[in-house]
Structure 1
Amino acid sequence: MFLPAGVHEPDVQHRQLDHLARAGADLFEIGLPCANPVLDGRLIRSAYQRALVKGNVLDRTVRAVAHAASLRPTVVMTYWEPVRRHGPERLARLLADAGAAGVMVIDLPHTGALRWHHAAHDAGLSTSHLISRAAADADLPVMVESASGWLYAPASNGLSGFQGPLDLAALAAFTERLRAASPLPVVSGVGISSPDLAARVAPLVDAVVIGTPIVRALLPDPAPAAAVTAAFAQALQTRIGTAQDA
């Protein structure tokens, strides 16, 4: 489950994480807020803006990661701008010390990639890569070469929060291309807007990350998010159980 850090006060965010873990979240992806999240839709942009207005974003993120990591395996999703501003080495060490298993910099520029990967490696963090479905087969080996932990294959080509239909055949074909290029697990998110869609995506990948539906439930009142998480978890568990019985 994806959660943007710092939207609510730390004690509230900790209770949210507790509720989501009990509701069935197997892994947490904590979002480090930034001012221009170019791949995110309106809702997550709004959540990040709320967090930025509160201030102390890095401290709030580290605290959220530490609590999440005490409950479930935890990774961090960020953009390059906060990495550059805080310093790759400092940020990698802070997140690793908080208990993060890995960090995905989804717009990692070529000019900063080597420094970031060295910093993450030295801190013991995995460095997953988001791979565009538009990537050519010839480019995939280079794109996955420095990745570790997992590869992220968006279920939709749109921004986060996309609620339209998904081209599951295209996602399946893309997943096979990634598996031919790398032995890393393939994780999908973006556009998985309902438990039914989550159940349909699950057989195509190794893990599913749910973001906007959880954030939508958290923003006005943190309480309903556990029920939303439980609905997604139930759909995924039912689908996995059905596949194993087949």
Structure 2
Amino acid sequence: MSRISEAFAKGKAFIPFITAGDPDLAITEQLVPAMAKAGADIIELGIPFSDPVAEGIVIQEADQRALASGTTADKIFETVTRIRQKTNVPLAFMTYINPIFVYGSERFIKNAAECGIDALIVPDMPFEEKDELHPICQKYGIDLISLIAPTSKERITAIASEAEGFVYCVSSMGVTGVRKEITSDIKDMVSLVKDSKDIPCAIGFGISTPEQAKELSNYADGIIVGSAIVKLAAMHGKDCVEPICSYIRQMKSAITG
């Protein structure tokens, strides 16, 4: 069983996102094992990119801070290698197709696998183009995570039938960011996935409060939170480890009851 399957087998999964290198890679190296201890079941590491089209201002600014601190893909691979000596928590890279192509798809995925990454999330890669990366991911044992959105409707069945690891359900239209209300019909999206394949569904985009997490965990197998955590990194800088871990403990207890 893969690390990701094991994480969902334990119950509702809490999946926080941080931008690697924000505020710097030394903090990322401290933060990931601490987040795992605080209750994170899978951790998404964003690779900073100068043009993150799916992101709101909070994560755009985190990318700028990480790039300004000298973060590169190679330095992230080195950092993850060291993180792996401290924790076995499942790790997913979230990045865009352009940085992967520029780096070299096979080289990127091989290096990701060798440093201990379990999954890859590429929000700007359409389902129809996944063969650009999927065969390479399979070769190196990395799950290429499928995303579905409220607009996916008739495509959800096709996407779900080929999904691996878990399905990332985008809860609302537009870019990432904290929202007061999650309006999409998540229940229907999850049902369509489950009708096609028995695979975990995790909901992300816009979730920030324990109340939202608790409500949505009634329908989903996992809750993904990014912007609310990245805001804490922005607010506390190099002192962000404890505030982020405290938030994770709150959110994890909300979804596990």
Question: TM-score scaled by structure 2?
Answer: 0.85
Tell me the distance in 2 between the aligned counterparts of 1:109 and 1:66: 30
Unaligned 5+ residue runs, structure 1? 239-246
152-161 or 190-199: which moved more? 152-161
Which residue of the other structure, out of 137, 152, 173, is the alignment partner of 2:168? 152
Task: Tell me which residue corresponds to 2:180.
Answer: 164
- Range with bigger deviation, 84-93 or 152-161: 152-161
Deviations 1:7-28 (A, max 9, x none): 1333222222232222211111
Corresponding residue SS for 1:224: helix
Distance 1:125 1:156 in 2: 27
CA distance in 1, matches of 2:79, 2:250: 23
Q: Does 1:113 align with 2:111?
A: no
- Is the partner of 2:28 in helix, strand or coil? helix
AA at the equivalent of 1:235: A
CA deviation map 1:75-117 (0-9, x unaligned)? 1111111111111101101111111111111111468532311
**Aligned partners of 2:203 and 2:78: how far apart in 1?**
26
One-letter amino acid matched to 1:75: A
* 1:34–1:82 Cα contact (<8 Å) kept: yes
The worse-fitting range, judged by mean Cα deviation, of 55-64 and 212-221 is: 55-64
Q: Which residue of 2 aligns with 1:243?
A: none
> Are the aligned partners of 2:127 and 2:159 in contact in 1 as well (CA < 8 Å)?
no
4+ residue stretches of structure 1 with deviation over 3 A?
Answer: 63-69, 109-112
Match of 1:177 in 2: 192
Indicate whether 1:233 and 2:224 are aligned. Answer: no
2:251 alignment partner AA = F
Compare relative contact order (CA 8 Å, sep 6+) and give the higher one, 1 or 2. Answer: 2
Deviation at 1:68, TM superposition (A): 4.8
- 1:8-23 equivalences in 2 (<5 Å): 8-23=23-38
- Change in CA separation of 1:165 and 1:68 when aligned onto 2, cut-off 3 Å: farther
2:81 aligns with 66
Q: Report what 2:57 is aligned to.
A: 42
| Aligned match of 1:142 | 158
Q: Give the TM-score, by structure 1 length.
A: 0.88
Look up the equivalent residue of 2:114 and give its one-letter code: D
Find the aligned partners of 1:111 and 1:35 in 2 and give their Cα distance: 25
- State yes or no: 1:3 paired with 2:18: yes
Structure 1 pair 237–145 and aligned structure 2 pair: CA distance change class (3 A) = closer
**SS of the residue aligned with 1:128?**
strand
Say if 2:245 is the partner of 1:220: no
Deviations 1:46-88, CA, capped at 9 Å, x for gaps: 0011112233420232234335543411111111111111111
Residues 21 and 66 in structure 2, CA contact (< 8 A), matched pair in contact too: yes
Count residues with an aligned counterpart: 236
Q: Unpaired segments of 5 or more residues in structure 2? A: 1-15
**Bigger mean CA offset, 221-230 vs 108-117:** 108-117
Corresponding position: 1:103 with 2:124 = no
Q: Secondary structure at the match of 1:18?
A: helix
Other-structure match for 1:128: 145
**Alpha-carbon distance in structure 2 between the residues aligned to 1:145 and 1:22:** 33
Q: Does 1:91 align with 2:91?
A: no
AA at the equivalent of 2:172: S
In 2, distance between residues paired with 1:60 and 1:2? 18
Percent of pairs with identical residues: 25
Check the 8 A contact 2:25/2:76 in 1, yes or no: no
